[in-house]
Amino acid sequence: MKGPKTARVNGIDISYDDAGTGPLVVMVMGTGSPGRVWQAHQQPALIKAGYRVVTFDNRGIAPSSECAEGFTHDDMVADTAGLIEHLGAGPAFVVGTSLGARITQELALSRPDLVKAAVMIATYGRNTPVQQAISAGERALYDNKITLPPDYAAAITAHLNLSPHTLDDDRAAKDWLDVIGFSPQTVTAGVRAQLGLHDREADRLGAYRGISRPALVIGFADDRTLPPKLAREVADAIPGARYEEISKAGHFGYLEQPGEVNRLLIEFLDAHR
């Protein structure tokens, strides 16, 4: 384990963790979450499988630059590109989830020279009315300085991001509520800037027909935040992309069903290493 480092890329500081040896895998996290979330399950499995794994905090997530004044998707794509160039080990396998998957798609499209193959988890190529309404509500809570009661916030987070199969088990549900309550997602000024991205997202499905890198898209059958039909749309748009759907998994499926997610990841990466 080499420990956290800082790279100066694209005019900002990016905090990253670099571990393992072998072909480079760069992992891109979703809205409001730090890169260390990957370290619970995916990073150890990939290192064991013989990969060098870099996880990082997107701009907006301290200790990376928060850029509270606002930024664009293109900025975040350029950050990921700059980090791969900084590492000097590209082209890289790039794996992203949610907003991180959208960044991965755009990187594969705009900088195919940096992407050996791409994996998009719980992804989307267009906004939906429900997605827009939830994001607008999250922004309004922050802008109006409203803080939800912790237990209620944990329950809403669990409801939106976990499978009913998980929540139907009272013991598992209580464990998840405890975990979420212990490490709540705090909306900082930087996270608020990330949330602002969702109000300006265009339909990019047509553009994704231009992606030329090998691609795996993973959807989660019980994803309420980004329903699996959105992931399937992305897979259908990318020439030759493979689509896999994991049952009994919500938006946090990489935490709920890590064994199956890791199996698909390693199988795909091994086929293209």
The two three-digit tokens of residue 102, written as one number? 């959208």
| Residue 3 pLDDT level (bands cut at 50, 70, 90) | low
C-alpha torsion 258→105→111→215, nearest 10: 60
Residue 7's CB: how many other CB atoms inside 10 A? Answer: 20
pLDDT digits (tens, 9 = 90+) for 74-90: 999 999 999 999 999 98
User: What is the average pLDDT across 3-7?
Assistant: 88
* Alpha-carbon gap, residue 13 to 27, rounded angstroms: 17
**pLDDT greater than 80 at residue 184:** no
Residue 272, beta-bridge partner list: none
C-alpha torsion 14→261→40→148, nearest 10: 80
User: What is the average pLDDT across 140-153?
Assistant: 94
Residue 8: CB partners within 8 Å, gap ≥ 6? Answer: 14, 86
pTM assigned to the model: 0.95
Where along the chain do its domains lie? 4-127+202-272
| Residue 182 pLDDT level (bands cut at 50, 70, 90) | confident
Active site residues: 98, 223, 251
> What's the number of CA atoms in the CB half-sphere (13 Å) around residue 163?
19
**Residue-wise DSSP of 194-227:** HHHHGGG----TTGGGG--S-EEEEEETT-SSS-
Architecture, CATH, for domain 4-127+202-272: 3-Layer(aba) Sandwich (3.40)
User: What is the average pLDDT across 63-81?
Assistant: 96
| Whole-number pLDDT of residue 187 | 86
